[in-house]
């Protein structure tokens, strides 16, 4: 089961040990999915916030 996270700080913290980040854009919401070895973490954000977060992470980004 995926785990949903709600804070930007926690998302950035988890992205340091993530294998990749998948981006799914749905109308006015962007879902960011971080895959680690053990869990899949999801984070929902507005498009402007998502772009800011994507520029700060250093793992592979996969657009869906």
Tens digits of residue pLDDT in 22-39: 999 998 999 999 999 999
Pick the CATH number of 3-63 from 1.10.3720.10, 1.10.10.10, 3.30.70.270, 3.30.720.90: 3.30.720.90
CA 19 – CA 29 distance, rounded (Å): 23
**pTM value?**
0.90
CA 27 – CA 34 distance, rounded (Å): 20
pLDDT band of 19, cuts 50, 70, 90: very high
Domain boundaries, the chain: 3-63
């Amino acid at each position: 089961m995926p785990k949903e996270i709600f804070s930007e700080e926690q998302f950035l913290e988890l992205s340091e040990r993530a294998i990749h980040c998948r981006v799914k854009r749905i109308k006015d919401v962007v879902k960011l999915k971080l895959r680690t070895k053990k869990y899949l973490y999801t984070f929902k954000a507005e498009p402007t916030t998502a772009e800011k977060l994507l520029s700060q992470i250093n793992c592979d980004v996969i657009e869906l």
